[in-house]
Amino acid sequence: MKQILKGGRVIDPANNIDKIADVAFENGVIVEVGENLAADGAEVIDVTGKVVTPGLIDMHVHLREPGQEAKEDFLSGSSAAAAGGYTTVATMPNTRPVIDDASLVRSCQERAKAVGKVHIEIIGAVTKGQKGEELAEMGDMVEAGAVAFSDDGHFTKTAKVLLNAYDYLRTFDKVIINHDEEPSLVEDGIMNESHRSAMLGMKGRPTVSEDIAVSRDILLAEYADAKVHVAHISSGNAVDIVRQAKKRGVKVTAEVTPQHLTMTDDLVQSWDSSTKINPPLREKKDTEAVLAGLLDGTIDCIVTDHSPHAQEEKDREYMYAPSGFPGLETAVGVLLTDLVHEGKLPLPLMVKAMTSAPAEIFGLKGGKLTAGAPADIAVIDTELEWTVDQKKFYTKGSHSPFIGRTLKGKAVMTFVDGKMVMKDGVVF
């Protein structure tokens, strides 16, 4: 049956649309976007006062399948995505076993189609076992449907191995997503190296570790004329390295998380492991530089790095707790509250970084409200105030630095292929 979302503010960066309009869809695809569309027997959904966008896309999540389902699985993780307004997520391969061959890509795809509430794309490993020694069978994984490649969680130690990967993947026009931290500089570090780490007596992870790694990986990509994507950028100097590389014409893109845009290492407390992430929360100057990079186009995408852990793992001393926290259900609220409503980030740019930009970089079908495109749609109430409550999370992860915060703005409807999968926080 034809449905029309009527009277909302439609923001579709791919088509340069930002106006009050209607969105009609039928049989899983967008039919028309325009003003005052005739109902013609369609089901009309009044979204007056709401923002209608393409379904959000997150190309950096950890859904933990296979092998770590106690932390998260495709059902719980995709439910969290639907609750947050996401219609497509891409899961990282640092699982048990590592997703490093075509059979694992296919089995994950089958599982995702069987239980996923949203589209779940599979990212394959660059090297076998993510050990950084021998290239994985990336060509086979491309044919199986892998959308990108990453040894996320690990820095590819040998430049020659990464250069070979760039050369190999250039044929397939696929992107390598690099986790950039020089291991020798971050060994045993648990937070940003700064005055704050010294005050807390915690060993630090300096920003220069990221700067060196980003520089190396960009130079190798430039030499190979290959694509490179910098994961969860957090250092101000690293942002400028990407900026200068783009000016030279290097095929480099970058992503940032809400936490690295809005939080600093001043929030780190030794008794609260929820702020322990990798790369760590940085200083205010880095946060400001990262935001500036997003505003000027140096940084292309906003991702969550959704990284849930089991309660017993995270509920430990800061030193021993794993890095990461769940972010799919809080990202929109945090970005709207701390950046958009504060006048620091234009809403259309936020939408672009979470829809059309990642779709273009990774060659996805979604990210736009064009006639004939998949009816993957998010409806956001930018004025809705709500309090973050881990008991209401769909994710299995319960540790978040945002718990207890009152946020302003939330996704209130999510449509995947024209089917409503979430309304008012309830996932179907």
Q: Which amino acid, residue 326?
A: P
The Cα 10–Cα 378 span in angstroms is 10
Q: Spell out the residues 6+ positions from residue 335 whose beta carbon is closer than 8 angstroms to its own.
A: 258, 261, 262, 302, 345, 350, 409
The Cα 255–Cα 353 span in angstroms is 9
Q: Which of 152, 180, 286, 305 is catalytic?
A: 305
Tokens of 413: 């409807």
Q: Which amino acid, residue 104?
A: L
Got the DSSP string for 11-47? EEGGGTEEEEEEEEEETTEEEEEETT---TTPEEEE-
Q: Spell out the residues 6+ positions from residue 55 whose beta carbon is closer than 8 angstroms to its own.
A: 85, 86, 87, 88, 118, 355, 366, 376, 377, 378, 414, 415, 416
Tokens of 327: 């972010």
User: Is 305 a known active-site residue?
Assistant: yes
Residues 85, 336 contacting (CB under 8 angstroms): no
Q: Other C-beta atoms within 10 Å of 320: how many?
A: 10
Give the H/E segment covering residue 309: none
Q: Which amino acid, residue 74?
A: F
The Cα 254–Cα 204 span in angstroms is 24
Q: Which residue shows structure tokens 């509430």? A: 117
The Cα 96–Cα 137 span in angstroms is 17
Instruction: List the catalytic residues.
Output: 305
